[in-house]
């Protein structure tokens, strides 16, 4: 997903006021993609109707590819390698699978900032902060959306992607979200051109040499969320 403007938007208004914290849910077992999308859509409708609070949902998917609204069919290199799911999120082709933390964010931008660029920048800021807690120096890459790490050992200008972002809004309530590579099978990326960037290399926390468990990653995500988006409730497991 190329960024529309290299200038970083103001993310300060993303931290919502009010007394109702964002719910935080962790699914310990893999969740099917279609099941997850249906659950997100139902939750978004409930948030819009004022019947539910905002939600951050952490999970893993079985190995699969998703095609966003800008996906180019030519970027699906091997359509028989893994199941392909058409997705309503923004962006192009991406991979989900075991060892990757998928983070679905159902946040009400009516309460925050009706600024899509600021929201995406806020998601990047959150993930950069969480990785920093784990001792990983991550950053933005000019002209691209997502979170990246520098790989000087592989070339002076080499940057590998460690987290992808693809969102959708319904009446200014977000869904879909972020995926962070903890220790997925990076070989599964060979079936697609990730996010339409042919020169993109993808990495993971494990490939970078960091021994981090999924609960440790989750705790870092929890800790880094509030400075960007505001108060969150204690985690629930479902």
State which CATH number among 3.40.50.150, 3.40.50.2000, 3.30.930.10, 3.40.50.300 fits the domain covering 19-237. 3.30.930.10
Strands 100-106 and 55-59: antiparallel
> How far is it, in rounded angstroms, from Cα 189 to Cα 5?
28
- Domains of the chain, residue spans: 19-237
pTM of the predicted protein model: 0.93
**3 state DSSP class of 86:** strand
Summary mean pLDDT of the chain: 92
Q: Contacts for 1-4 with beta carbons within 8 Å, 24 or more apart?
A: 1/68, 1/70, 1/90, 1/91, 1/92, 1/144, 1/145, 1/146, 1/165, 1/166, 1/195, 2/143, 2/144, 2/145, 3/117, 3/142, 3/143, 3/144, 3/145, 4/117
Query: How many CB atoms neighbour CB 8 within 10 A?
Result: 13
Q: Of 109, 195, 220, 221, which residue is the catalytic one?
A: 195
Strands 64-67 and 55-59: unpaired
Read off the pLDDT of residues 44-81 as tens digits, 9 standing for 90 and up.
Answer: 999 999 999 999 999 999 999 999 888 999 999 999 99
Give me the pLDDT at residue 158, please: 83
Both structure tokens of 144: 């691209």
**Average of pLDDT values for 115-130?**
97
pLDDT at residue 3 greater than cutoff 70: no
- The answer to whether 195 is a known catalytic residue is yes
């Amino acid at each position: 997903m190329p960024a529309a403007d290299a200038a970083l938007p103001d993310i300060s208004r993303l931290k919502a006021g009010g007394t109702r914290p964002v719910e935080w849910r962790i699914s310990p077992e893999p969740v099917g993609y279609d099941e997850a999308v249906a659950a997100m859509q139902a939750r978004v409708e409930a948030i819009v109707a004022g019947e539910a609070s905002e939600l951050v949902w952490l999970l893993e998917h079985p190995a699969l590819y998703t095609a966003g609204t800008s996906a180019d069919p030519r970027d699906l290199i091997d359509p028989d390698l893994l199941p392909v799911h058409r997705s309503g999120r923004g962006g192009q082709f991406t991979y989900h699978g075991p060892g990757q933390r998928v983070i679905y964010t159902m946040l009400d931008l009516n309460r925050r900032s009706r600024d899509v660029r600021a929201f995406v920048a806020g998601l990047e800021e959150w993930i950069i902060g969480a990785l920093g807690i784990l001792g990983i120096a991550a950053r933005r890459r000019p002209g691209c959306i997502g979170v990246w790490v520098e790989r000087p050992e592989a070339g002076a200008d080499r940057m590998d992607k460690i987290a992808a972002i693809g969102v959708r809004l319904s009446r200014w309530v977000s869904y879909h979200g972020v995926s962070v590579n903890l220790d997925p099978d990076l070989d599964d990326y060979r079936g697609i051109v990730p996010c339409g960037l042919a020169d993109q290399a993808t990495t993971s926390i494990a490939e970078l040499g960091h021994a981090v468990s999924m609960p440790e990653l989750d705790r870092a995500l929890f800790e880094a969320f509030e400075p960007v988006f505001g108060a969150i409730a204690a985690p629930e497991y479902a």
